[in-house]
Homo-oligomer: A and B are copies of this chain.
Amino acid sequence: MATWPHVHAVQIYYEDTDHSGLVYHANYLRYFERAREHLLGVPELVRLLREDGVGFVVYRCEMVFREGAVFGDSLQIRSTPKLESEFRVTFKQDVFRGEKLLVQGTVEMVAVNREGSLVAIPATVLARI
């Protein structure tokens, strides 16, 4: 059984920052996605996509930026999933530098088939959350 939050480490490189000196705000959505993929299991996500034609799509997201991260920072993405319905999972995803909370995020995810139609969250994914 998993313990929450799931923790994913992110290192901040030149590519992550903008000319303000801080991490470009949109990039946190990338870190959240990386964290969700590890949380759900990359090999199973690959299998679902190739064999079952099931992919995942963000339906809604929200972020509050409390403090910026800078080049060289080692961040933690702490993610906690919550099954909202058969079709929808919400992830609370927060960004920490040490014990300092930098960004608070919420991401709602749904599953779709090859035609882009909504399908139930697969059982193998449910087993991880």
Contact = CB atoms under 8 A, between A and B. Distances in A.
Contacts of A30: 13, 15, 26
Nearest to A47: B72
A72 B60 contact: no
Q: What is the interface of chain A mostly: helix, strand, loop, or mixed?
A: mixed
A59 B55 contact: no
Interface stretch (A38-46, A84-92, A93-101, A117-125): A38-46
Number of copies of this protein chain within its complex? 4
A52 interface: no
Interface of A: 11, 13-15, 17-22, 24-27, 29-30, 33-34, 37, 42-43, 45-46, 49, 55, 57-65, 68, 70-72, 116
